[in-house]
Amino acid sequence: MPSSSSSSSSRKLVLLSLVVIILASVLVYKYFTLSGSSGPRGSQKSNNMETPSPAVLQMSAMDVLAGETPKKATDDIEVQEKSVTVKVSWLTPPLIYAPMDHELHKLQGVKIFYREATPLGPHPHHQQVLLLHGQAFTSQNWLTLGTLSSLAAWGHRAVGVDLPGFGKSDPAPSSISADPGGFLSNLIDALKLLSGGGVVIISPSMSGKFSLPFLVLHPEKVKGYVPVAPVATESYADRFPSIHVRS
Q: Which tops the pLDDT comparison, 179 or 59? A: 179
In a domain, 231, yes or no: yes
**Averaged over 154-183, what is the pLDDT?**
94
77 belongs to a structural domain: yes
Nearest to 148 by CA among 129, 121, 123: 129
Per-residue model confidence as pLDDT tens digits over 110-150:
999 999 998 877 666 789 999 999 999 999 999 999 899 88
Q: What is the pLDDT of residues 47-77, one digit of tens each?
A: 333 333 333 334 343 443 344 433 333 333 3
Bridging pattern class, strands 83-87 and 76-80: antiparallel
The pLDDT > 70 percentage for the chain reads: 58
> Is 151 a domain residue?
yes
**CATH number of the CATH domain containing 172:** 3.40.50.12270
Residue 247 lies in a domain: no
Is the bond preceding 93 in cis, omega lying within 30 degrees of 0? Answer: yes
Task: Name the band, by pLDDT with cuts 50, 70 and 90, for residue 209.
Answer: very high
pLDDT for 28 equals 52
Whether pLDDT at 201 is above 90: yes
Is residue 113 in a domain?
Answer: yes
Expressed as residue numbers, the domain containing 195 is: 2-242
pLDDT recorded at residue 174 = 92
Task: Count how many domains the chain has.
Answer: 1
